[in-house]
Amino acid sequence: MLRHGTLRTTTWSPGRRRALAGASAAVVCLGAALGACAGSGGGGGYVAVGGAGRTGPVDASPTGSVTMIPLDGPKGEGTTPPGTTGSPSGATGSGPGPAQADGGYVPSTPDQPSPTGTSTGSGAGASPGAGDGRTTPAPAPPDPTPVPTTPPAPAALSWGEPVTADGDQRWCQKVTVGFRNSGGTAVRSGSVTFGTHVIGALGIDWSTVRTSEALPVPIGAGARTDHTWTVCLDAWRVPLGMHIETRDLSVQWK
């Protein structure tokens, strides 16, 4: 059964044909230019010649594990540290430092010293007792050896021969004696005993009388002194025509 309808026909005029041919040639030239630009990178270029299959946002999330590969640095540091593999969520690997989202890694921070100042190492430079947190105190210097004090030397008194002179009476005489203390201690006390002889007119020594006098103390250590005494006997011991002579002496001191 035939139905009657309107049949439209397209008439191509010479002008429209030339316009369609020019558009096709422009598309071909544009595709060739894009292919040449993509191929200049050395890796082979591809030109999409078909339309997009679908429109809208495309989910480009990876479905498997991702290996973070850092880009080549300025010094050619393009090697990936061992164990820096990660997951799509940016999980860190087991390398020297935690991985970053851009493929690099952060170097691990060195251990900080303990705030208490104790050392747990046992290196060659560790001091004894540092491993258990204790320090060995420095030994106390030994006590200085006491210098023995030498006691001063005792007094050492010496004397010379008596020097005599006539007195006011024939039974008196002036006697001078010199003393010297060569010890280390002063002479504090003592006495001197004179031996006085009674001489007759013919020079005969009739008798000797001893009298004692006190020492001129103190006599310091290393000191020297002279002293004069007047030695007198009883008048009846020296009759008229006799005189006395003090010839010897003895000293007791301490």
182-208, pLDDT tens digit by residue? Answer: 999 999 999 999 999 999 999 999 999
Q: How far apart are CA 33 and CA 29, in angstroms?
A: 6
Predicted TM-score (pTM) of the model is: 0.44
Please tell me the predicted confidence (pLDDT) of residue 20.
Answer: 58
Please tell me the predicted confidence (pLDDT) of residue 40.
Answer: 47
- Type of residue numbered 95: G
More confident position, 92 or 65: 65
Q: How many CA atoms lie within 13 A of 50 on its CB side?
A: 3
Considering the chain, what percentage of its residues have pLDDT values greater than 90?
Answer: 39
Max avg pLDDT among 37-51, 63-77, 100-114, 166-180:
166-180
When pLDDT is cut at 50, 70 and 90, the band that residue 146 belongs to is confident
Q: How far apart are CA 235 and CA 72, in angstroms?
A: 140
Average pLDDT, the chain: 72
